[in-house]
Amino acid sequence: MKTWFIAARPKTLTAAIMPVVAATVLVSFNGFSVIWWVSGLCLFSALCIQIATNFINDAIDFAKGADNDERIGPKRVTQTGLISKKKIMVGAGVFLIMAFFSGVLLVSHGGWPIVLIGVLSLFLAYSYTGGPWPLAYLGLGDLFVILFFGIISVGGVYYLQTGTYDMSAMVLGTQIGFLSAVLIAINNLRDINQDRKARKKTLAVRFGINFVRIEIAALILLTFILQFFWYKNTKNWLTLLPLLLLPLAASVVRQIVINEPSPLYNQALEKSVLLHSGFGLIFSLGLYLI
């Protein structure tokens, strides 16, 4: 069980949790009644899809040579032989099936827009690293994360709760999506040498280290600039609470700028996870207190 827990990459699961938490608080802030079973099922489904994606990524990256003995990030369970490729793919299938059945209940509540989101999410869980056009191997992983772990996930929860979609959901989804993309960008920057050998054409491989450094800094900066949207519309200083995380954000950027890709990037990745989850929680707390 410990090995399967490691394979699920628990430190990354904030990317599935925070959109649901923040969107639920936004629903209440905008004057709607929260339907708690909907948020609960959204959270369960999002976690299942992300865990399945992580399992598939573990197996396929090893099969394609992206994860090998030269890897400087955390060791993967397929790479180290702790779980076979066949078993971990079966595990991914189990989580996708659970996501499907929880999604059926959400479709009965939200209708056809949720069908589209659900089908795409299940399909892309595999297509992120698998299939003839794997997104991660084409340099589209960052865009995928912004959309599905930000804009679509926040927007989907908001729509299910309210039956509507507005600018506040778009802005919040964009902010959380940007910080989620920071996680994958740092990960790809750290693994640039291994990915280049495996022909995994991430943005780091395609455009170089400095490009992704600028990307990471821009994503973080834009996230905090967008925070003034909330202050402008509420005139309440509590919406600026996430700015307390600026020193942590600066630390993340500094660490990737002054260091070449190395195990030190694992520390930057841990800080970026803290930044992502901290932003979601502090933002939600600010809205709740208004």
Q: 184: Cβ–Cβ under 8 A, 6 or more apart, which residues?
A: 141, 142, 145
Percent of the chain's residues with pLDDT above 90: 68
Q: For all residues of the chain together, what is the average pLDDT? A: 91
164's tokens: 């509507």
Q: 93: Cβ–Cβ under 8 A, 6 or more apart, which residues?
A: 52
Looking up tokens 């066949």 gives 86
- Give the confidence band of 85 by pLDDT, cuts at 50, 70, 90: confident
Q: 251: Cβ–Cβ under 8 A, 6 or more apart, which residues?
A: 271
Residue 68: pLDDT over 80: no
Q: 218: Cβ–Cβ under 8 A, 6 or more apart, which residues?
A: none
Q: Which domains does the chain have, with CATH numbers?
A: 2-289 (1.10.600)
- Give the confidence band of 71 by pLDDT, cuts at 50, 70, 90: low
Q: 59: Cβ–Cβ under 8 A, 6 or more apart, which residues?
A: 78, 85, 88, 89, 92
Q: What's the pLDDT score for residue 128? A: 84
Residue 257: pLDDT over 90: yes
State mean pLDDT over 250-255. Answer: 96
Q: What's the pLDDT score for residue 70? A: 65
Higher pLDDT among residues 234 and 63, named by residue: 234
Higher pLDDT among residues 121 and 217, named by residue: 217
Residue 37: pLDDT over 80: yes
Q: Rounded distance, CA 92 to CA 263, Å?
A: 28
Instruction: Tell me the three-class secondary structure of 197-217, residue by residue.
Output: HCCCCCHHHHHCHHHHHHHHH
Residue 285: pLDDT over 80: yes
State mean pLDDT over 17-34. Answer: 96
Q: Rounded distance, CA 218 to CA 215, Å?
A: 5
Q: What's the pLDDT score for residue 67? A: 64
Q: What's the pLDDT score for residue 66? A: 64
Look at 8-12, 23-27, 36-40, 222-226 and tell me which has the smallest mean pLDDT: 8-12
Is the overall model pTM greater than 0.85, yes or no?
Answer: yes
How many whole angstroms from its chain centre is CA 208? 22
Percent of the chain's residues with pLDDT above 70: 97
Q: Rounded distance, CA 103 to CA 41, Å?
A: 8
Residue 69: pLDDT over 70: no
Q: Which of 62-66, 125-129, 244-248, 266-270 ranks highest by mean pLDDT?
A: 244-248
- Give the confidence band of 249 by pLDDT, cuts at 50, 70, 90: very high
Q: What's the pLDDT score for residue 203? A: 94
- C-alpha angle 266-121-169 in degrees, rounded to nearest 5: 80
- Give the confidence band of 131 by pLDDT, cuts at 50, 70, 90: confident
Q: What is the pLDDT of residues 160-217, one digit of tens each?
A: 999 999 999 999 999 999 999 999 999 999 989 888 888 889 999 999 999 999 999 9
